[in-house]
Amino acid sequence: QKEVEQNSGPLSVPEGAIASLNCTYSDRVSQSFFWYRQYSGKSPELIMSIYSNGDKEDGRFTAQLNKASQYVSLLIRDSQPSDSATYLCAVNGAAGNKLTFGGGTRVLVKP
Amino acid sequence: NAGVTQTPKFRILKIGQSMTLQCAQDMNHNYMYWYRQDPGMGLKLIYYSVGAGITDKGEVPNGYNVSRSTTEDFPLRLELAAPSQTSVYFCASSPGTANYGYTFGSGTRLTVV
């Protein structure tokens, strides 16, 4: 079992719709959780971090964490063509000194 | 403020050659990391450092070496390059533990032929 798993996609959503991305992790004592956006040929860019159960909203992005079920999700509201990218889920384990990344979900927003 | 600077951006190596990928950060971050990303895949940790003079192996360290003599610099050395090392290499840094998330450099695209 991979430590951090994501559906590779592509997730195709119409412009203006909500994109929903999911990520599961295996280390039950993981401390912190991150979503990175990566455009093709570019480096990952941090867009959301979440540390406790529940929802965290930042603009059009909402991160959701459920530690009991070991999953973290990202919602992108009012999706725009500029949101087309690969979204990487990253998890910080018990040691707290390094992130483990999922394989990424490719999102395509169609006008 | 340059952030995390990686050089070179692109490089083609022949099998058996060696090279050093440079990484420097100007944010006074203690933690630094090297990841590789193969096409269509996520990031795999090669080596990391929690401070000057301290380094540790990640998930895929074979074929690589690192050193951390200063807070600012964290070079990655490839010895005897192999086609399996063809990848995009990202350096990243964090101010403390990884709980802060990372700042990434722009990457080095390496091809071994």
Interval A26-56: pLDDT, tens: 988 888 999 999 999 999 999 999 999 999 9
pLDDT tens for A61-71 read 999 999 999 99
Q: What 3-state class would DSSP assign to A81?
A: helix
Which residues of chain B from 68 to 97 reach within 8 Å of chain A, CB to CB? 90, 97
Distance CA B43, CA B52 (A): 24
Q: How many of the other CB atoms lie within 10 Å of CB of B2?
A: 9
- Interface membership of B41 toward A (CB under 8 Å): yes
* Residue B6 banded pLDDT, cuts 50, 70, 90: very high
Average of per-residue pLDDT across B2-10: 95
Look at residues A109, A79, A78, A87 and name the one whose alpha carbon lies nearest to residue A35: A87
A2 pLDDT more than 90: no
B1 pLDDT more than 80: no
| pLDDT at B96 (0 to 100) | 83
